Amino acid sequence: MTDVTTRRLDLAGTRSFATPGAGPNRRRALAEFGSGWLQELWREACAGRRHEGVALAAVGSLARGDGGPLSDYDLVLVHHPRGLSGKEVGTFADKLWYPIWDAGVRLDHSVRTVAECRTVASEDLSAAVGLLDLTHVAGDADVVNAARSTVAHDWRANARTRLGEMQESVVQRHARQGDLAHLVEPDLKEAHGGLRDMSVLRALTAAWLTDRPHGEVDEAYERILDVRDAIHVVTGRGRDRLTRDDQDACAALLGHSDADDLLTDLSTSARTIAYAVDGTLRRAMQSQRARTLRVGPRRPQLAPLGYGLYRHDGEAVLGPSADLSSDPIVPLRAAVVAARGGIPLSPATLRNLAASAPALPEPWPEVARNLFADLLATGPGLVTVWEGLDLAGVVERWIPEWRAVRSRPQRNAVHRHTVDRHLVETVVAASGMVRDVARPDLLMLAAALHDIGKVAGSRDHSATGGELADTVLQRMGVPHGDRHTVVRLVREHLTLVDLATRRDPEDPATIAALSDAVDGSVTTLDLLRALTEADASAAGPKAWSDWRAGLVQRLYETCRAALTARTPEERDLVVEPTDALALSRDALERVATGDAYVTVTSLGGAHRLDIVDRDRAGLFADTAGLLAAHGFVVRSAIVRTLDGLAVNEWWVDSPGGETPLPDVIARDLRRVGAGDRAPLGRLQRRRSAAVRSPGSGSVDSTRAMVITSASDTATVIEVRATDRPGLLQDIGITLARASLSVRSAHIATYAGQTLDTFYVTEFGGGQLAPARAAQAVAMIIDTCDTCDAD
């Protein structure tokens, strides 16, 4: 080992790693030593002669002062063309480079004039970013300053074209190298959230289009540099990849209890930088567009998203009407709106949500549980929004148990993500299976909690997870029966795949074991099958192959057939009332005059509307359409027809924050019943402005079916579809167009999916003939799917 390398390792001695906060001092000492040694080489190369217009400059880690013990030196010999001749410059450069090579130091070198620096920077993006850090080491400082200022000027002047090139380069690098936060053997330099991204942040600020986050980002950067330094010391090589073989030694050198502790800390730091570079790059692009397309002062362009949020420059921001100080549900509403729109919450909004919104009461109100399920069901848009909420500390306030799995590594070749990211990816995968199950909200909860038991000291994460999930669900106020189902799913989430791959699927003992795992419930079995696929596909291709999927499906179908043959098929149908309801005198008198009787009760952010009106063709569609036109989202409803009266109960949510006004609803029902369709005019505008989740079009088509033997006097049709403004009105119009009467309807919305049951008859009463029922089902599917595709 050469004296230079030995000296560099001595400056980064193990004692400095044991001292908290010693990293910056260690790297400063290494930079000072490197610069001093290079200046000594410069003096020896000059041999007492003064070279005007020639200088030695550094780029990369040496220029920034953040190099590791064995980092390479990136050097540029900058010269003025009217100084030394080309041959003289080449000879002089050799006097510098050869001693460096002889010392065993890795060297990246070049010889350029100021004009050549400018040309190279204009043609090569990576060279331009590197030359922004150009720092004088020895020689004529003026020539270095001229080169650096010229490159910086061009970078700012050409930001419009260079930023697009940079964004494409960053995206490609991230796709190629993956997320540092979720890799088992990460490249600390090139991966998403790594050291290279800090260079991107510096380059973006150098364009004068945006500032970058400091504070936590700078601290995260220093922690990653510490890990890089430890790799150099442990391996004796200038590597940037943290391999499994070196993790234990690096953890011990850095004072971590074990390698998992090291990887958790590294993952947290990488997530901070990754989120910062994504947001800063996005804002730089926005700023550049604004500067090139607008002249004069720029007014904010705000597009309403609902719930007091607006779209501004590709981010969701809180408007002045949002009541953060007293409404604990605002963070959930904001997250749902942003995730459905596929846009991130702005950093300022995240800080406000974390700092100002009060904690949710325990147990959570029903509207909060509904919104949380909606958030989990938003699909790919969830990932970025959840990451922002988690980094801001909001997720931990909802689920304190999340802290123990945040950034926790999984030392398993099957898994490609940390525990927390795997949970989010499982939720995203499960959101594409919501039509396969009767209770998508329970599937979403189970997906979000199935690995919550992967905490330090747990020997059986499924059993531990069941206990933790029960605590989480009790805090949320999930009803006992639903909580029991989700806890069972968490506890048994590996059972189906284990039995399918290790046991004979035709053996009665195998079927009995799976039946016991789902407590003999077909509904729970359907949920377990969906959770199994979501979990395995989120883990990676090694966990969910065609072979494994086939085995799981075979056992699932065999067990489902056995359960269905043994017990009647489970349906969460509301039994139709047969006795007349006790109606108030005011209600009867109001209906007798031709008006609807409407009362509103508000509870925990939700609103219950009780509506009594004379039954007529299309009343169900008109009521649903009016509620949607007024901006209300139907959560559940029970629609009944008794003795010529429609006695309906609607539970709605209000994205705009308005409380339903009984007189307005009654007036609009009267107008629509008289043939005036004007009150429904706002619905079409709301349809056009509705925010849809990214990738929602890839969800399976609407599912509608006739439930045989559910009623002796009506035909029962069950519909599963993605909820949207006006959906119930469209279904009601379709049934009216088919000349069918809606005698009773039971509407429920779970995690953005509707599970609606309609008791329909021919006008005058009577069940539908098979051909008529098939026609109605086909018409409903066509209606829902056609509108979904719009």
% of the chain with per-residue pLDDT over 90: 29
- In terms of Cα–Cα distance, which of 399, 369, 491, 220 is closest to 751? 369
The answer to whether residue 525 scores a pLDDT higher than 90 is yes
pLDDT band at 551 (very low <50, low <70, confident <90, very high): confident
The answer to whether residue 685 scores a pLDDT higher than 70 is no
* pLDDT tens profile 101-126: 988 889 999 999 898 899 998 888 88
The answer to whether residue 340 scores a pLDDT higher than 90 is no
| Domain span(s) for CATH 1.10.3090 in the chain | 303-566
* pLDDT tens profile 722-747: 887 778 888 888 988 888 888 888 88
Mean pLDDT for the stretch of residues 192-200:
92
Mean pLDDT for the stretch of residues 216-221:
91
Q: Which residues contact 145 (CB under 8 A, 6 or more apart)?
A: 136
| Domain span(s) for CATH 3.30.460.10 in the chain | 3-157
Q: Which residues contact 550 (CB under 8 A, 6 or more apart)?
A: none
| Domain span(s) for CATH 1.20.120 in the chain | 161-293
Which residues are paired to 599 by β-bridges? 610
Please report, for the chain, how many H helices and E strands are present, in that order: 32, 15
- In terms of Cα–Cα distance, which of 340, 302, 345, 338 is closest to 321? 302
The answer to whether residue 581 scores a pLDDT higher than 60 is no
Neighbours of 107 (CB within 10 A): 14
- In terms of Cα–Cα distance, which of 343, 222, 220, 358 is closest to 277? 220
Local structure of 363: helix, strand or coil:
coil
pLDDT on residue 527: 96
pLDDT band at 76 (very low <50, low <70, confident <90, very high): very high
Alpha helices in 178-258 (DSSP H): 195-206, 216-235, 244-253
Mean pLDDT for the stretch of residues 206-231:
86
* Joined tokens for residue 736: 């009216």
pLDDT on residue 675: 85
Domain 161-293 bears CATH identifier 1.20.81: no
Question: Mind giving me the DSSP string for 327-353?
Answer: -TTHHHHHHHHHHHHT-PBPHHHHHHH
CATH number of 3-157: 3.30.460.10
Which one is predicted more confidently, 343 or 684? 343
% of the chain with per-residue pLDDT over 70: 90
pLDDT on residue 579: 42
pLDDT band at 787 (very low <50, low <70, confident <90, very high): low
* Angle formed at CA 250 by CA 248 and CA 252, multiple of 5 degrees: 70
C-alpha span between 650 and 660 (Å, rounded): 11
The answer to whether residue 226 scores a pLDDT higher than 80 is yes
Neighbours of 511 (CB within 10 A): 21
Question: Mind giving me the DSSP string for 737-782?
Answer: HTTEEEEEEEEEEETTEEEEEEEEEETTS-PPPHHHHHHHHHHHHH
pLDDT on residue 573: 47
C-alpha span between 213 and 222 (Å, rounded): 14
Local structure of 783: helix, strand or coil:
helix
C-alpha span between 213 and 665 (Å, rounded): 49
* Joined tokens for residue 282: 């996005």
pLDDT band at 57 (very low <50, low <70, confident <90, very high): very high
pLDDT on residue 415: 67
Q: How far is CA 682 from CA 16, 136, 611, 726, 790, in A?
A: 68, 66, 21, 11, 18
Cis peptide upstream of residue 363 (ω within 30 degrees of 0): yes
Mean pLDDT for the stretch of residues 247-262:
89
Mean pLDDT of the chain: 84
pTM of the model: 0.77
pLDDT band at 531 (very low <50, low <70, confident <90, very high): very high
The answer to whether residue 2 scores a pLDDT higher than 80 is no
- Domain covering 303-566: architecture: Orthogonal Bundle (1.10)
pLDDT on residue 125: 87
Segment among 164-178, 197-211, 257-271, 301-315 with least mean pLDDT: 301-315
Q: Are 16 and 22 in contact (CB under 8 A)?
A: yes
Taking every pair of Cα atoms in the chain, the longest distance, rounded to a whole number of angstroms, is: 112
